[in-house]
């Protein structure tokens, strides 16, 4: 995908602040961070979303997050939590699979509250999911 901004970053055609890199993934700083240390995990191979990625990428990414990145964020930035998020299709700005790592701090103001607008009754949604 020649016009994919994340593919360009992975190839080095666009600059990025790389925190971690191996054969499968690259972890960079988000240029529009929600909190200090907001990172993006990118597979090096172009994949659009979770339906398109591989178990290998997902498991490897989580291993690296647990073994290296979360400890690094705790040690260097003194975060007290980590929100891991991943958008697919609607809500996904860049169509190259990526995982958001948002370090959490007391009173960081990051708003991950669930939207209460236009919600169907819980029972109605449950029925649609299970019947």
Q: Which is nearer to Zn ion, 7 or 110 (CB)?
A: 7
Q: Which residues in this chain contact Zn ion in the complex, by CB under 5 A?
A: 1, 4, 6-7, 46, 96
Of 11 and 66, CB closest to Zn ion: 11
Q: How far is the CB of 66 from Zn ion (least distance, A)?
A: 25
Contact yes or no for 20/27 (Cβ under 8 A):
yes
Spatial contact of 30 and 100, defined as CB atoms under 8 Å apart? yes
CB of 64 to Zn ion, least distance (A): 19
In the complex, residue closest to Zn ion by CB: 4
Residue 20 burial class via C-beta count within 10 angstroms: exposed 0-12, middle 13-18, buried 19 and up: middle
| Neighbour tally for 108: CB within 10 Å | 16
For Zn ion, give the closer residue by CB, 42 or 73: 42
Q: How far is the CB of 73 from Zn ion (least distance, A)?
A: 25
CB of 120 to Zn ion, least distance (A): 35
Nearer to Zn ion, 24 or 110 (CB): 24
């Amino acid at each position: 995908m020649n016009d994919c901004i994340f593919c360009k970053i992975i190839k080095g055609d666009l600059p990025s602040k790389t925190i971690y890199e191996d054969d499968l993934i690259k972890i960079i700083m988000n240029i529009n961070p929600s909190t200090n240390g907001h990172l993006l995990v990118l597979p090096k191979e172009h994949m659009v979303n979770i339906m398109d990625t591989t178990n290998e990428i997902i498991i490897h990414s989580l291993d690296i997050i647990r073994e290296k990145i979360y400890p690094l964020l705790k040690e260097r930035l003194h975060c007290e939590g980590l929100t891991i998020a991943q958008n697919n299709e609607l809500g996904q700005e860049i169509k190259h699979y990526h995982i958001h790592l948002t370090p959490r701090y007391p009173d960081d103001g990051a708003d991950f509250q669930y939207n209460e607008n236009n919600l169907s009754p819980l029972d109605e949604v449950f029925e649609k999911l299970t019947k």
